[in-house]
Amino acid sequence: MPIYLVQHGKAFSKEQDADRSLNPEGIAETRSVAATLAKRRVPVTTICHSGKKRAVQTAELIAEALGCTDVKQLSGLQPNDDVSAMASALDPASHTLYVGHLPFMDRMAGYLITGDDSRKVVKFQNSAVVCLDKTDETDHWLVDWMLVPSFIV
């Protein structure tokens, strides 16, 4: 069963907005990605976010498009949090989408795929979604697909 890793949408700088809200481009790109997920009927049952405003907004936009009502803050998704703690808590059968930040998302993908959080295995972009799947045949997760805003017409 898949899980989904999402880097939050583009946000205002700290100088422009102390809370770092999504900027208009970040909102538009996240809506576009979310609409594509909905069109493809991506089965997300829970959306977890870091609690930072830009991650909350990204999670809410995706939840709205998918009709997902289980949206919650989850500790362990901050930029510099320990990925091994989060990885050990993952439920491969949960269809959960996690919205977080760099470098955490880079490190989490590397850890899940190779067992080494220093290995960069995907190139995250704002509002991008990486679908990882784990089967009975492997101990590690595999990249099933990736969706980036620039690929959506």
Which domains, and CATH codes, for the chain? 2-151 (3.40.50.1240)
Confidence of residue 52 (pLDDT cuts 50, 70, 90): very high
Confidence of residue 56 (pLDDT cuts 50, 70, 90): very high
Q: What is the mean pLDDT of the chain?
A: 95
Q: Give the pTM.
A: 0.95
Q: Give the per-residue pLDDT at 123.
A: 95
- Whether 102 and 11 have beta carbons less than 8 Å apart is answered as no
Confidence of residue 73 (pLDDT cuts 50, 70, 90): very high
Q: Give the per-residue pLDDT at 153.
A: 58
Residues with Cβ within 8 Å of residue 44, at least 6 apart in sequence: 4, 37, 62, 66, 68, 95, 96, 97
Rounded percentage of the chain residues whose pLDDT exceeds 70: 99
Q: Write out pLDDT tens, residues 118-134.
A: 999 999 999 999 999 98
